[in-house]
């Protein structure tokens, strides 16, 4: 039997799993060989792109006994079609690399506020949110190695890296999002047309005006202004009576922010900005309102990094500042730990207030702070982002983990299940999201695509029989 060792610590201080080692794949053929070898030897593989799934486990497997299959060396941009606006990329391609390739072209990238060197493929498969839209809207098609070693493509993506568009017949693309049905080795990505103008809206409100700010956010989210990017209610700090030394130095619990980009022609952006300004100006508790031309914002402006995101340029400075590190390579060993809790919450005034109250109650009970954000992903729904920073002493770490577990239980009871999970709770998400839910059909897909349970045991779908890592 292979000797197992403890995985490296991760930013969220999850339980360190025992791993068999790490395999590095440089091509789709390497992945196929690794899968077939694991099948023959009765072992399990846990694929990671660049391993920067911070706050949810980083590169640590869900279960013990896996071999990490590291795809960081799969860095080819197989196709960059500047006529039709799509790219086909491998898992090791970072958002920085793709954004740089798009400089000076008619297209730009939907970047996140995360690490510039994080994998675009990995974050999209985890359903991350970009600055312009949810990353799920960027996903066009996939190349996937199944647990049998077979290769399949989805979404109309062909074996030559061409994407004519959606083709006839069932499309299984979404089956490989947040799943363990296969190893994704390439992704078709839709790009954003580079607009004539981009304006970043940033409005701050007093904390007592939270309800009024939520009403303004809801109106913006449903107004359908032309060129509206993804608007957020953010920087809502929940601080217990005991305080929190782990919060960023810039944290101000007395205010909160609505922020989002507007993209399009100069006339279109001007009209949309006037509409947003009218909504915000009518809200109570407005402290400041800024509409920044992202092309001319100076580098010393506090919102400069946010204007870069709106222009499709990733930047790590705010992230490093929050983690108190000089390099993102130090993140998993930062002095400050960081966890994420990510439920989906309807875009409704009373429900958003209720979700904040639920988390506030648990934060006070566990003596641990949280930073809340609501990303408006549709006129009906928000992705709630709860960041839980903590000092990495045993007591603070325990309280942070207890807070996330208690918040998850309370949000499930309220009907607000997670839309994205972590390595501790992913095995239970499907079964827990509704009383009496049966996941037999998903188990059937797992048995079909990965009959021996080779790929990422415990990652959402648990139903495959066979030779897997153990909890």
Q: Are residues 204 and 332 located together in one domain of the fold?
A: yes
Q: What is the pLDDT of residues 148-161, one digit of tens each?
A: 999 999 999 988 88
What pLDDT, on a 0 to 100 scale, did the predictor assign at position 77? 97
* Residue 114 to residue 129: CA distance in whole angstroms: 10
Band of the pLDDT at 468, cuts 50, 70, 90? very low
What pLDDT, on a 0 to 100 scale, did the predictor assign at position 437? 57
Give the sign of the dihedral formed by CA 85, CA 88, CA 93, CA 94.
positive
Q: Are residues 161 and 203 located together in one domain of the fold?
A: no
Q: Are residues 314 and 395 located together in one domain of the fold?
A: yes
Tell me which of 153-157, 211-215, 263-267 is least confident: 153-157
Residue burial 393-426, b: 16+ Cβ < 10 Å; e: rest: eeebbebbbebbebbbebbbeeebbbbbbbbbbb
Q: Which of 420, 440, 463 is the last residue of a domain?
A: 420
What pLDDT, on a 0 to 100 scale, did the predictor assign at position 346? 98
Q: What is the pLDDT of residues 160-174, one digit of tens each?
A: 888 888 888 889 999
> Could you tell me if residue 250 is inside a domain?
yes
Region 365-375 average pLDDT: 97
Q: Are residues 211 and 185 located together in one domain of the fold?
A: no
CATH for 180: 3.30.465.10
Region 353-378 average pLDDT: 97
What pLDDT, on a 0 to 100 scale, did the predictor assign at position 260? 98
Exposure of 111 by Cβ count < 10 A (0-12 exposed, 13-18 middle, 19+ buried)? buried
Q: Are residues 416 and 373 located together in one domain of the fold?
A: yes
Q: Parallel, antiparallel, or unpaired for β 107-108 and 192-193?
A: antiparallel
Top-confidence residue, 438 or 462: 462
Q: Which of 375, 397, 420 is the last residue of a domain?
A: 420
Q: Which of 420, 435, 454 is the last residue of a domain?
A: 420
* Residue 221 to residue 56: CA distance in whole angstroms: 28
To the nearest whole number, what is the mean pLDDT of the chain? 93
Which tokens hold the place of 210?
Answer: 């939270």
Q: Are residues 363 and 243 located together in one domain of the fold?
A: yes
Q: Supply the range of the domain harboring residue 400.
A: 197-420
> Could you tell me if residue 248 is inside a domain?
yes
What pLDDT, on a 0 to 100 scale, did the predictor assign at position 160? 80
Picking from 351, 310, 358, 342, the residue whose alpha carbon sits closest to that of residue 214 is: 351
What pLDDT, on a 0 to 100 scale, did the predictor assign at position 467? 41
* Residue 316 to residue 338: CA distance in whole angstroms: 16
* Residue 135 to residue 189: CA distance in whole angstroms: 9
Residue for token pair 């914002």:
297
Number of domains, the chain: 2
> Could you tell me if residue 466 is inside a domain?
no
What pLDDT, on a 0 to 100 scale, did the predictor assign at position 440? 72
> Could you tell me if residue 313 is inside a domain?
yes
CATH for 264: 3.40.462.10
Tell me which of 160-164, 263-267, 291-295 is least confident: 160-164
Q: Are residues 163 and 203 located together in one domain of the fold?
A: no
Picking from 261, 239, 260, 240, the residue whose alpha carbon sits closest to that of residue 248 is: 239
* Residue 415 to residue 396: CA distance in whole angstroms: 28
> Could you tell me if residue 98 is inside a domain?
yes
Q: Are residues 213 and 337 located together in one domain of the fold?
A: yes
């Amino acid at each position: 039997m292979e000797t197992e060792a403890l995985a490296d610590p991760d930013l969220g201080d999850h339980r360190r799993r025992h791993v068999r080692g790490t395999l590095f794949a440089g091509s789709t053929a390497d992945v196929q060989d690794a899968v077939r070898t694991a099948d023959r030897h009765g072992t399990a593989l846990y694929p990671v792109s660049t391993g920067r799934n911070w706050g949810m486990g980083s590169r640590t497997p869900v279960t013990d006994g896996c071999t990490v299959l590291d795809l960081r060396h799969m860095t080819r941009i197989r196709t960059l079609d500047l006529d039709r606006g799509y790219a086909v990329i491998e898992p090791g391609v970072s958002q920085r690399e793709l954004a740089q390739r798009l400089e000076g072209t008619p297209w730009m990238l939907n970047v996140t506020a995360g690490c510039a060197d994080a994998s675009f493929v990995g974050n999209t498969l985890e359903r991350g949110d970009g600055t312009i839209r949810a990353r799920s809207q960027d996903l066009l098609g996939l190349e996937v190695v199944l647990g049998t070693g077979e290769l399949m493509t989805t979404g109309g993506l062909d074996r030559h890296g061409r994407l004519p568009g959606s083709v006839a017949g069932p499309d299984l693309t979404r089956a490989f999002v947040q799943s363990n049905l296969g190893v994704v080795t390439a992704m078709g990505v839709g790009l954003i047309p580079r607009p004539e103008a981009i304006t970043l809206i940033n409005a701050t409100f007093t904390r007592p005006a939270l309800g009024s700010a939520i009403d303004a956010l809801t109106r913006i989210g449903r107004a359908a202004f032309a060129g509206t990017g993804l608007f957020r209610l953010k920087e809502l700090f929940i601080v217990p009576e005991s305080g929190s030394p782990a919060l960023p130095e810039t944290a101000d619990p007395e205010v909160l922010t609505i922020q989002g980009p507007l993209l399009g022609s100069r006339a279109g952006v001007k009209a949309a900005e006037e509409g947003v300004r009218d909504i915000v100006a009518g809200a109570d508790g407005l402290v400041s309102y800024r509409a920044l031309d992202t092309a001319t914002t100076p580098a010393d402006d506090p919102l400069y990094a946010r204007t870069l995101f709106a222009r499709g340029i990733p930047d790590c400075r705010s992230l490093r500042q929050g983690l108190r590190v000089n390099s993102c390579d130090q993140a998993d060993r930062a002095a400050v730990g960081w966890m994420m809790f990510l439920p989906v919450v309807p875009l409704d005034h009373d429900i958003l207030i209720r979700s904040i109250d639920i988390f506030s109650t648990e934060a006070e009970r566990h003596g641990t702070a949280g930073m809340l954000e609501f990303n408006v992903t549709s006129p009906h729904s928000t992705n709630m982002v709860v960041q839980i920073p903590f000092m990495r002493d045993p007591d603070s770490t325990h309280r942070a983990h207890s807070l996330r577990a208690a918040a998850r239980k309370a949000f499930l009871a309220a009907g607000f299940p997670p839309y994205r999970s972590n390595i501790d709770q992913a095995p239970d998400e499907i079964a827990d999201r509704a009383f009496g839910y049966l996941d037999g059909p998903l188990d059937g897909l797992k048995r079909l695509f990965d009959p021996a349970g080779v790929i990422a045991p415990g990652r959402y779908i648990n139903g495959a029989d066979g030779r897997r890592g153990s909890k």
